[in-house]
Structure 1
Amino acid sequence: MKIPRRLATLALYIAMGGCRVTSSAQDAGGETPQQKLQRLSAAVAQAQAQMQAYQAQLQELQKQLGDLQSQLQPATVAPAPAPLAATTASTQNAMDEIRERQAIQEAQIATHDQAKVETESKYPVKLSGLILFNAFVNTRRVDDTVDPTYALPGSGTTGFSVRQTILGLEANGPHLFGATSHADVHVDFFGNGSQATYGSTGILRLRTAHGSLRWKNTEAFVALDRSLLAPNMPTSLVATAQPVFSWSGDLWTWNPQIGLTHELALTGSKRLRLQAALIDPQDPLLPNTTSTATSTRSEKGRWPGIEERIAFAAGDRFKGPEFGVGGYFSPHRTGTGRRFDAWAITADARLPIGKHVEITSNVYRGAALGGLGGGGYVDYFYLDPQTAERAYALRAAGGWAQLKVKPSERLQFNGGFGIDNPFGSDIRLVRATPSTAYSGLTKNRSAFGNVIFSPSAYLLFSVEYRRLWSDYLDGIPQHADNIGVSAGYRF
């Protein structure tokens, strides 16, 4: 960039003027012509240095303005350097546009502040949810027509439902002991009850709830959620009220818990996650049944259950590989005062393969797992139902695995298989008793495949096929096919 001639002349004139004044003063003192010439040369050199500094500053200013213009108005081909006046005008226009947008956003925020619902604590609360419409076809009778888990003898059903709609509230609260506080609660309309009126399509049901204090590597929490033993969830839009592998390999039930999670950093992004909690497992109930008991068998045992999990993880918290093992123990007591113990050992894995494929799995083996979602809806049985002298915890094993293929952020394909298998040797003990008191499943399996398409962040569509195989103590095995179509709006 060249300095304008007038600017250079002005700078030289100022320098010469300064020299002239100085020279006149020194003439009075008898300065020689040689000294005058030296002083004049020094003044000229100083003026040139100042002009070079001005030139450098102007070049830097032009570069900064050019960078700002390219950020505000990106182009595929870099434009030729524009004159300083044109660049300044373009930048001024861009700044005016930014100010105008900022004014509009401030007006919108002011309107929002006037219309928002204010909490008593004054901390922000976020409302979220999923309005979910389901259409279903069941080829045979199932336990729940909207979201089935096992097959029964009888004819099929067809219908629509919005009972799987989910509403949620999330809040971030004050800091305590250096930790941030967080809470959330989610409900749906999948509760049981009479639908005698035309407007009734489901009863509000508490799904999950969390409250936590979060430090950098540690979290203390209370929760109503699935067990620590089963961190992975199968992916389905058709089955949200109950996971797609409920009672066929997924220990999914939501139980009250209080616990701690701590992460130990290893090399790079690798880390160990240590988790432990106390849990109050519920009693298993067949679908559409209610209980009149005022306390659970775990509560009658007078001690809460204990669960723990150790996992190795790497990379992203929700997408990187993770492998875990867990354990569970809970003393129980029946209504007649007989004791039995519930226990489990588990393993889980999440294995991404490249950018578009992922395998997830949970497996378990234990006893009296009905409260966690296993064991065919049964915790225990009496070897002699007439005397009820001894309660025997039903042993079971099971698990599930899913393959996810996600070619893009908007499209994914999922498929998997799950099985819950109470031990045959325990079932034969029940069969040998004079009076049969076993009402659960002897084996339950399910397989599914679905496609989920999300044209935007707020719209979801899915088609799913599920196959159920269910075995019973007395009777032939039953099977049913479930075809579901879902459309959801997330907010």
Structure 2
Amino acid sequence: MNRDAEHGNASSSSSATGVSKVFRLFCVTLLGAMTCTIYTPAYAQSASIAQPASTESTEDKLQKLTAAVAQAQAQMNAYQNQMQELQKQLSALRQQLAAERSVAPASPSPPPPITGESSSQEGSASLEEIRERQAMEDTQIATHEQTKVETESKYPLKVTGLLLFNTSVNTRQVDIPEDPTYAIPGGGSTALSLRQTILGLDARGPELMGAASDADVRVDFFAIGSQSNYAANGLLRLRTAHAGLNWNHTRAFVALDRSLVAPYTPTSLVAVGEPPLAWSGNLWAWVPQIGVSHSVPLHHSVLKLAAGLVQVPNPPSLGQTTTNPPAVWQTERSRWPGTNARIAFAKGDNGEGPEIGLGGYFSPHMTASNVRFNAWAGTLDLRLPVGRHIEFLSNVYRGQALGGLGAGGYVDYVFEYTTTTRVLHPLDDIGGWAQLKFKPKARLEFNGAYGIDNPFANDIRRSIASSSTETYSGLSRNRTAFGNVIYSPSAYLLFSVEYRKLWTNYAGGSTNTSDVIGLGAGYRF
């Protein structure tokens, strides 16, 4: 009985062991078939091995299945080695491309500086510039050593410029046919010119007291000299110049440029010799100055502070882009330089958000007859992005004796007469401009702007009424409106069409108007 039980238990144990072996064999067979099916092309062979044969023992089947799994594993290892080799080749190609780009000279920055761009537009423009650089890369590398500019100081110097051709059709007479700013009674004109071409030098110098140094200068051919027959070709004129020391948030500088109280200028490719809206609310005059600026980073914003000394020239005569200066300017005769300052608050970390600023200007003057008077101005400026494609810019002012800054109708002061004396009175003035920019694409923009310069009529009337011989030599009011389209098919080419309307008033006269249609084509280098 016990022996039968033991025999039964043994049979059961043997049966269980057999079932376990069969189950393990089935699992190994299934795993081998699936592995061979996925990872090796010898699926048919593995499948045939996996099929149990009645004449083969369990050990033979197990060996064949083990061999099939080993073969699949070997093929998997081969695939992994191939993938690692491809990754190495891809990494080497990336390093080679980066090295080639670092050797190629940097291309000029894209024109003209305009804000409110979307990241997708910037990426598209960058891609086009990369393609242009790659097309020119072989020639640039081959000639790099022969064309580089060598300086006495051995520090980097870059030559830049804008070869600008423009034409304008004026329906009535204007001051300068190539770049008119006010209307004159008389017939119209048509002008073709390259005088607004700009040449520039940009330099970087050594560090001093922990600050990086830099300098730049810009000249054009828009001066008018005594040889009037050469005026169509133009004479060389210094436009702007800068030199400065830059710390993290502070810059000390000397410059010939716009006053600190007028940080912005309207956008135009047709009006370059004299900036757009000059003498119509734009305090555009380039004046020598020395100063310092400092920025205070705040939470996602910045506070900007700037102040400096400035030397303002005498106002030019009507129709002149440059002044043959007298032996001594009125500001020089006073023996005190002028001052100007600006404080602004800008939102955003990269200077792309809205910004509002307040400015002030004060400068003592003395006439050739030793009569002292003061020039001053208070200003308000605004930059307001509206979405990703629209930007609003504006600058307004109120002051006295602003002829040297490009306002006041070309006049600093007027005289009032009594029965026995003549009293000098600085001419009060108010004006400003505003521009709306729409930039649907990175290389296409539309601009519309309006500006006005309005000397006080009461000052002019009192001056004329108090003397039977006194006349007013300036403009009593000047207004300009324009709209333009600027298209840049590449980083180096610029095309523009512009319509401008001028309204000019003289003392005691009617309004003179002129329609100006201008075309511009430029090559930036």
TM range (shorter): 0.7 to 0.9
SS for the counterpart of 2:276 is coil
Of the candidates 434, 457, 481, which is equivalent to residue 491 of structure 2?
A: 457
* Greater Rg over alpha carbons, structure: 2
Q: Which letter does structure 2 place at the counterpart of 1:348?
A: D
Q: 1:114 to 1:332 in 2, by over 3 A?
A: same
- Determine the structure 2 residue equivalent to 1:478: 512
Q: Which runs of 5+ in 1 are unaligned?
A: 2-54, 63-81
Q: How does 1:177-192 map to 2 (within 5 A)?
A: 177-192=209-224
Cα offset, 1:432, TM superposition: 1.2
Q: Is the 8 A contact 2:268 2:484 kept in 1?
A: yes
Q: How does 1:244-323 map to 2 (within 5 A)?
A: 244-268=276-300, 270-285=301-316, 286-288=318-320, 290-291=323-324, 293-315=326-348, 317=350, 319-323=352-356
Counting aligned pairs with the same residue, the percent is 56
Q: 1:87 to 1:281 in 2, by over 3 A?
A: closer
1:440 matched to 2:474: yes
Q: How does 1:94-173 map to 2 (within 5 A)?
A: 109=141, 111-173=143-205
Q: Is the 8 A contact 2:224 2:231 kept in 1?
A: no
Q: Is the 8 A contact 2:414 2:459 kept in 1?
A: no
- Determine the structure 1 residue equivalent to 2:53: none
SS for the counterpart of 2:331 is helix
Which whole-Å CA distance do the structure 2 matches of 1:428 and 1:306 have between them? 31
Q: Which letter does structure 1 place at the counterpart of 2:303?
A: L
Q: 1:458 to 1:386 in 2, by over 3 A?
A: farther
- Determine the structure 1 residue equivalent to 2:457: 424
Q: 1:191 to 1:386 in 2, by over 3 A?
A: farther
- Determine the structure 2 residue equivalent to 1:217: 249
SS for the counterpart of 1:481 is strand
Q: 1:343 to 1:90 in 2, by over 3 A?
A: closer
Q: 1:106 to 1:481 in 2, by over 3 A?
A: closer
Q: Deviations over 1:364-415 (max 9, x none)?
A: 0000000111110000112139987422100000000000000011100000
* TM-score of the two chains, using structure 1 as the length reference: 0.79
Cα offset, 1:291, TM superposition: 3.9
- Paired residues, what number? 418
Q: Is the 8 A contact 2:414 2:460 kept in 1?
A: no
More helix by share: 2
Q: Is the 8 A contact 2:103 2:141 kept in 1?
A: no
Which whole-Å CA distance do the structure 1 matches of 2:86 and 2:514 have between them? 74
Cα offset, 1:123, TM superposition: 0.4
Which whole-Å CA distance do the structure 1 matches of 2:518 and 2:217 have between them? 27
- Determine the structure 1 residue equivalent to 2:448: 415
Q: Deviations over 1:112-164 (max 9, x none)?
A: 22442310000010110000000110000001101111100000001210000
Q: How does 1:3-42 map to 2 (within 5 A)?
A: none
Which whole-Å CA distance do the structure 1 matches of 2:274 and 2:97 have between them? 50
Which whole-Å CA distance do the structure 2 matches of 1:282 and 1:223 have between them? 15
Q: Is the 8 A contact 1:143 1:149 kept in 2?
A: yes
Q: 1:153 to 1:122 in 2, by over 3 A?
A: same
Which whole-Å CA distance do the structure 2 matches of 1:395 and 1:298 have between them? 18
Q: Which letter does structure 2 place at the counterpart of 1:226?
A: R
Cα offset, 1:101, TM superposition: 8.5
Q: Is the 8 A contact 1:382 1:437 kept in 2?
A: no
Which whole-Å CA distance do the structure 1 matches of 2:366 and 2:502 have between them? 33
Out of 188-197 and 399-408, give the one that drifted further.
188-197
- Determine the structure 2 residue equivalent to 1:362: 395
- Determine the structure 1 residue equivalent to 2:424: 391
Q: Which runs of 5+ in 2 are unaligned?
A: 1-34, 36-73, 105-136
Which whole-Å CA distance do the structure 2 matches of 1:219 and 1:150 have between them? 37
SS for the counterpart of 1:112 is helix
Which whole-Å CA distance do the structure 1 matches of 2:391 and 2:101 have between them? 42
- Determine the structure 2 residue equivalent to 1:490: 524
Q: Which letter does structure 1 place at the counterpart of 2:499?
A: Y
Q: Deviations over 1:77-123 (max 9, x none)?
A: xxxxx544555566667777888898998996574224423100000
Which whole-Å CA distance do the structure 2 matches of 1:447 and 1:210 have between them? 31
SS for the counterpart of 1:298 is helix
Q: 1:351 to 1:388 in 2, by over 3 A?
A: farther
Which whole-Å CA distance do the structure 1 matches of 2:238 and 2:420 have between them? 38
SS for the counterpart of 1:430 is helix
Cα offset, 1:199, TM superposition: 10
Q: Is the 8 A contact 1:238 1:485 kept in 2?
A: yes
Q: Deviations over 1:219-273 (max 9, x none)?
A: 00000001101101100000011111100101110000000101111112x0110
SS for the counterpart of 1:383 is strand
Which whole-Å CA distance do the structure 1 matches of 2:369 and 2:231 have between them? 43
* TM-score of the two chains, using structure 2 as the length reference: 0.74
Cα offset, 1:353, TM superposition: 0.4
- Determine the structure 1 residue equivalent to 2:66: none
Which whole-Å CA distance do the structure 2 matches of 1:98 and 1:466 have between them? 47
Q: 1:115 to 1:96 in 2, by over 3 A?
A: closer
Q: Which letter does structure 2 place at the counterpart of 1:244?
A: P
Q: Deviations over 1:404-444 (max 9, x none)?
A: 00001110000011000101111121121222232000111
Q: Is the 8 A contact 1:125 1:171 kept in 2?
A: yes
Q: Which letter does structure 1 place at the counterpart of 2:222?
A: F
| CA RMSD between the two structures | 3.0
Cα offset, 1:287, TM superposition: 2.0
- Determine the structure 2 residue equivalent to 1:26: none
Q: How does 1:72-87 map to 2 (within 5 A)?
A: 82-85=82-85, 87=87
Which whole-Å CA distance do the structure 1 matches of 2:360 and 2:102 have between them? 54
Out of 103-112 and 149-158, give the one that drifted further.
103-112
Cα offset, 1:305, TM superposition: 0.5
Which whole-Å CA distance do the structure 1 matches of 2:357 and 2:471 have between them? 37
Q: 1:213 to 1:480 in 2, by over 3 A?
A: same
Q: Is the 8 A contact 1:385 1:436 kept in 2?
A: no
Q: 1:381 to 1:291 in 2, by over 3 A?
A: farther
Q: 1:94 to 1:404 in 2, by over 3 A?
A: closer
SS for the counterpart of 1:390 is strand
Q: 1:386 to 1:478 in 2, by over 3 A?
A: farther
1:231 matched to 2:259: no
SS for the counterpart of 2:187 is strand
